[in-house]
Structure 1
Amino acid sequence: MSKAELRTQRLLLRRQRPEDAADLAVTGADPLTQRFTGVPRDYSAEHARAYVAHAERRWIRGVGVAWTAAELATGRYAVNVDLRDLDWNGRTAEVGYMTAPWARGRGYAGEAVQAVARWLFERHGFSRLQLRVSPANNASQRVAEKAGFVREGLARASIAGEDMIVYSLIPSDLA
């Protein structure tokens, strides 16, 4: 898998670095992130450092990809985007993201996810990208919809026994 650096109008998506751990720790410990993601409830800088190291190993093995999306103008961390459950035979994957508290409401997450989707579809020939969202997370549902994802339904007891709304994106959705 190539070492992709992606650019949008406002963001640079790059491979994560150890120095991203501080911003990841703040994002992971944020109450909204805690409420709507599976990050550990006591999320710390140590968790963030372990995540960055694990993301690098997943990238090297071709089983996952994680980016830090930073503002082009300032270089400031805004969003963490990762691909998981990469199925190279079936050409499907799942995407997840966490937005820094300061960056919420600016459209950065949708912009970053859409850039990742284009990279996955155009460079690697994938045919489907899935996203699961808590029914209570209205902001994340808006991110999915603004990025072009189509709501498919409810996956009962999907993540840690919690119901999740399933969204999908296929190449023709980005046309």
Structure 2
Amino acid sequence: MSPRIAPVLQTKRLLLRPWRADDAPRPGQERDEISERFMPANAQPGPAMPWDQWFARRQRLTDSGEIVCWCIADAGTDEPLGDILLFGFDENIRGNAELGYWLHTNARGHGYVDEAVEEVVRWAFEQGGVTRLHAGTDTDNIASQNVLRRAGFRQWGNDRANWTRMDGTASDGTFFELLVSDDRDAQRAVPPPTLQTDRVWLRPFCTRDGERMTQVQADPITRLWFNSEPRTVAFNRERAAQRSLIDRERWGIWWAICAPGSDELAGGIGIQNIENGEAEIGYWMHPDARGQGLMTAALREITRWAFAEGGFRHLAVQVADGNAASVRVALGADYRPVGAWHQREVLGDGRVVDLLAFDRVP
């Protein structure tokens, strides 16, 4: 027997300790649709593997040295909140391990996983002999991916139909890694800065923006100029969660537009297609927020930030010919017309029109 017994670790709010026989799920901690959708089979106790069997299996895996696992518990009450573990130790690749975690339904939304991951990564690299950590998620599990991005993990790949959900269905997988030699602070995904003027408030997106985003996509004017179909509220909640963090390589830097003194989503604006200090700015507006000058104010403030603090040297805006409102926004923010791509943009009604280009430099 070569057990990897997990040492007790403590953070400000959490106690990471071994699981005990009396840690069975309490009322309100039953698995839900999110668990069934995103967790691998037998990762959590449930109908297919009741608590007693799950706990015995964890003990066997610990005794055999296949895992190091902790119960995530409340530091004050010792109430079990979830699970975090290291597994997949490859004897042929020394120092390699996989990270996994889950929370009970009543423990989500408090940042507990971020806190637990931070401590386990520290222990793994400093005391656990680990030099490379990796983790896999269902591609639709944006919340879990954001945990890894905030912890400094970098996405290294995707595969198709190679992730098996607890309900037996297959989906795509997204994979992350972190080396002990990586500059974690430089790699950490962070939200865009909150920006505010007397005309507009720009904040990071959040999941509650999903309903308003869905309303925008159903708007006939939006569907015409963006040539897009409405998505579900659930899809847009995940999209908003994804855009809540900066990712310069994939979606760029996005902000939710709000009127001063209001937290309600009025629109979105983002710096995208970033390369060598150059980028394109895209924007859209909720129907009930048009005509108030919010978008022009947002574009002015984003442009100021991009040149003064974001390190950009050239910004462009592209607008379909005929979209007079978007043209007014670009001109109102002092972008100058520089030409057009002929017959470049396909509209929602099937017409093909020119794509007008505007730009600014510091």
TM-score (norm 2): 0.44
Is 1:83 the equivalent of 2:92?
A: no
Residue matched to 1:128: 132
Give unpaired runs (5+ residues) of structure 1: none
Alignment of 1:145-160 (within 5 A): 145-160=149-164
Going from structure 1 to structure 2, the CA distance change for 1:42 and 1:98 (only over 3 Å counts) comes to: closer
Going from structure 1 to structure 2, the CA distance change for 1:89 and 1:2 (only over 3 Å counts) comes to: farther
The partner residue of 1:20 within 23, 46, 62 is 23
Going from structure 1 to structure 2, the CA distance change for 1:45 and 1:133 (only over 3 Å counts) comes to: closer
- Size of the alignment, in residue pairs? 174
Please tell me whether Structure 1 or Structure 2 has the larger radius of gyration of its CA atoms: 2
The partner residue of 1:167 within 151, 161, 176 is 176
Asked whether the equivalents of residues 6 and 68 of structure 2 are also in contact (C-alpha less than 8 Å), the reply is no
Is 1:57 the equivalent of 2:60?
A: yes
Query: What letter matches 2:46 in structure 1?
Result: Y
What are the superposed Cα offsets for residues 125-157 of structure 1, whole Å, 9 maximum, x if unpaired?
211111111111111111111222111121333
Asked whether the equivalents of residues 21 and 45 of structure 1 are also in contact (C-alpha less than 8 Å), the reply is no
What are the superposed Cα offsets for residues 20-60 of structure 1, whole Å, 9 maximum, x if unpaired?
22249935x22211111123699239523212111111111
Is 1:43 the equivalent of 2:31?
A: no
Q: Name the SS of the counterpart of 1:34 in structure 2.
A: helix
Residue matched to 1:100: 104
The partner residue of 1:67 within 56, 60, 70 is 70
**How far apart are the structure 2 equivalents of 1:173 and 1:53?**
38
**How far apart are the structure 2 equivalents of 1:88 and 1:42?**
28
Going from structure 1 to structure 2, the CA distance change for 1:133 and 1:25 (only over 3 Å counts) comes to: farther
**How far apart are the structure 2 equivalents of 1:24 and 1:163?**
32
> RMSD between aligned alpha carbons?
2.5
Asked whether the equivalents of residues 45 and 54 of structure 2 are also in contact (C-alpha less than 8 Å), the reply is no
What are the superposed Cα offsets for residues 83-138 of structure 1, whole Å, 9 maximum, x if unpaired?
22112452111111111111111111121122112211111221111111111111
Query: What letter matches 2:145 in structure 1?
Result: Q
Going from structure 1 to structure 2, the CA distance change for 1:80 and 1:112 (only over 3 Å counts) comes to: same
**How far apart are the structure 1 equivalents of 2:48 and 2:9?**
26
**How far apart are the structure 2 equivalents of 1:107 and 1:152?**
24
Query: What letter matches 2:40 in structure 1?
Result: G
Going from structure 1 to structure 2, the CA distance change for 1:137 and 1:3 (only over 3 Å counts) comes to: closer
**How far apart are the structure 1 equivalents of 2:59 and 2:5?**
13
Give unpaired runs (5+ residues) of structure 2: 165-169, 186-362
Structure with more of its chain in helix, by fraction:
1
Quote the sequence identity (%). 33
Going from structure 1 to structure 2, the CA distance change for 1:73 and 1:10 (only over 3 Å counts) comes to: same
Highest relative contact order (Cα 8 Å, sep 6+), 1 or 2? Answer: 1
Going from structure 1 to structure 2, the CA distance change for 1:45 and 1:6 (only over 3 Å counts) comes to: farther
Going from structure 1 to structure 2, the CA distance change for 1:30 and 1:153 (only over 3 Å counts) comes to: same
